[in-house]
Copies of this chain bind each other. A is one copy, B any other.
Amino acid sequence: MSWNSFGRVFRFTTWGESHGPALGVVVDGCPPGLTLAEADIQPWLDKRRPGTSRFTTQRQEPDQVRILSGVFEGRTTGTPISLMIENVDQRSKDYSEVALAYRPGHADYAYDAKYGFRDYRGGGRSSARETAARVAAGAVARAVIPEVSIRAYLVELGGDAIDRSAFDDAEIDRNPFFCPDAAAAQRWEAIMDRTRKAGSSVGAIVECVATGVPAGWGAPVYAKLDSELAAAAMSINAVKGVEIGDGFAAARLTGEQNADPMRPGADGRPEFLANHAGGVAGGIATGQPVVLRVAMKPTSSILTPVETISRTGEASEIRTKGRHDPCVGIRAAPVVEAMMALVLADQKMLHRGQVEG
């Protein structure tokens, strides 16, 4: 098993650095016969694309995807789907400062400790540009699970939470924050403007809900649906926490409060009276919405100088100029959606493989 692949039977491998010529992904194990074109992938990339509002990095990347293999006459062939995105705006900047000193919070020091050297241009492989490849792969995954709808949105930004009673699904696409609460979106605009001007950064909490996941997908122990989602989410840049259903709040409930009672539903399947579990019991989907929540730390790139050391071990100080997202959590929403889709596609195929239809 490799370091840059994810999934068991629906498996993808990403490659590429922030400032290399291109980045991409190979999606392996995709079922044959699914309709797929570049136009099915591009809209998801466009949602994650940088530079779409003043609240994200101003790096201009069209993030145009090309399908290089695995699709014939508009349908997947069952063989590897190679997707490539060229980097076009690798601004020729002076990286000497970053090359010489470690940016705290970034992977600079850890990479040098591991590999002995690193591609310091824009963070190299540790850049969040890698997530573009995940989003492209996620678009393929969506084709595998047409029965499932996936939606990610921010429920908190800079410590300011949405009002759940004002939740409006349609609002999510109307503001640059994937925010389902119009009033919160307005407040966040102010927070972001203030943050950006200060050269500071803020964190965020992203929630992702998948509806239509059939009861039975998942596995009992180490390939638990929630375990896979946790790995998937924690592998996204800047994520420091993961919750399923009530998450940490569940630790403060009693067994009675946390129960998800069932009664016979209209369609013969159970109707659940609550969803504290977030749609997963014993690692297996219950048929309820699968609810995943992730905590994103504030961007480590800030204008305030921070104490650090140089490659040669001397005391130094660094402040991160240049283009960056003041809140990486915003553009993470499409990435979390993609990872949800990728995990579910894999689990669907694993389930179908083990349990005869």
One digit per residue, 1 when the CB lies within 8 angstroms of any chain B CB and 0 when it does not, for chain A 232-258 equals 111101001111111110111111111
Known A-B contacts A1-B1, A78-B355, A250-B295; A69 and B16 likewise in contact (beta carbons under 8 Å): yes
Which of these binds chain B: A40-48, A51-59, A103-111, A170-178? A103-111
| Min C-beta distance of A26 to chain B, whole Å | 5
Identity of the chain B residue whose Cβ is nearest the Cβ of A206 in the assembled complex: B251
Asked if A151 CB lies within 8 Å of chain B CBs, one says no
Contact A20 B68 (CB under 8 A): yes
Q: Which residues 179-224 in A have Cβ within 8 Å of B in the complex?
A: 195, 200-205, 214-224
A residues 95-117 near B (Cβ < 8 Å) are: 102, 104-107, 109-111, 113-117
Residues A251 and B355 in contact, CB atoms below 8 Å apart: no
Whether B245 and A240, one on each chain, are in contact in the complex, defined by CB atoms closer than 8 angstroms, is yes
**Closest CB of chain B to A22's CB: distance in Å?**
5
Supposing A105-B281, A235-B227, A258-B298 touch, asked if A31 and B200 sit within 8 A by C-beta, the answer is: no
Chain A window 73-97, contacts with chain B (Cβ cutoff 8 Å), 1 for yes, 0 for no? 0010111111010000000000000
Decide yes or no whether A156 CB sits under 8 A from chain B: yes
- Asked if A139 CB lies within 8 Å of chain B CBs, one says no
Q: Given that A248-B248, A314-B264 are contacting pairs, would A243 and B302 also be in contact in the complex, using a CB cutoff of 8 Å?
A: no
Since A17-B70, A255-B300 are in contact, a sample of 15 more A-B pairs with Cβ atoms closer than 8 Å, ordered by chain A residue number, is A2-B7, A2-B11, A15-B26, A15-B69, A33-B115, A77-B117, A84-B84, A105-B258, A114-B218, A203-B250, A240-B277, A241-B242, A241-B243, A241-B247, A247-B295
- Tell me the minimal C-beta distance from A63 to chain B in angstroms: 16
Beyond A231-B228, A262-B307, whether A281 also contacts B109 by CB under 8 A is yes
Please measure, in the bound complex, the distance between the C-alpha atom of A180 and the C-alpha atom of B87, giving whole angstroms.
Answer: 47
Partner of A261, one of B75, B81, B117, B306: B306
Evaluate contact between B24 and A284: CB separation under 8 angstroms: no
Q: A4-B221, A277-B105 are contacts. A350–B351 as well, Cβ < 8 Å?
A: no
Docked complex Cα distance between A156 and B251 (Å): 8
Residue contact A110 to B258, C-beta cutoff 8 Å: no
A289 within 8 A of B: no
Cβ of A283 under 8 Å from chain B: yes
Nearest neighbor of A308 in chain B, beta-carbon distance: B262
**Closest residue to A244 on the B side, CB-wise?**
B240
Which size bracket describes the interface of A in this complex?
35 or more
The yes or no answer to A167 lying at the interface (CB within 8 A) is no
Are A69 and B110 closer than 8 Å at their CB atoms? Answer: no
What 0/1 pattern do residues 330 to 355 of A give for CB contact below 8 A with B? 00000000000000000001111111
Across the interface, name the chain B residue whose C-beta is closest to A16.
Answer: B69
Q: A103 to B237, alpha carbons, bound, how many Å?
A: 38
- B residues less than 8 Å from A219 (CB atoms): 3
| B251→A241 contact, CB < 8 A | yes
Asked if A287 CB lies within 8 Å of chain B CBs, one says yes
CB of A110 within 8 A of CB of B13, answer no
Query: Which of A3, A6, A224, A232 has the most chain B CB atoms closer than 10 A to its own CB?
Result: A3
Check A138 for interface membership: any CB of B closer than 8 A: no
Question: Is there contact, CB below 8 Å, between A282 and B111?
Answer: yes
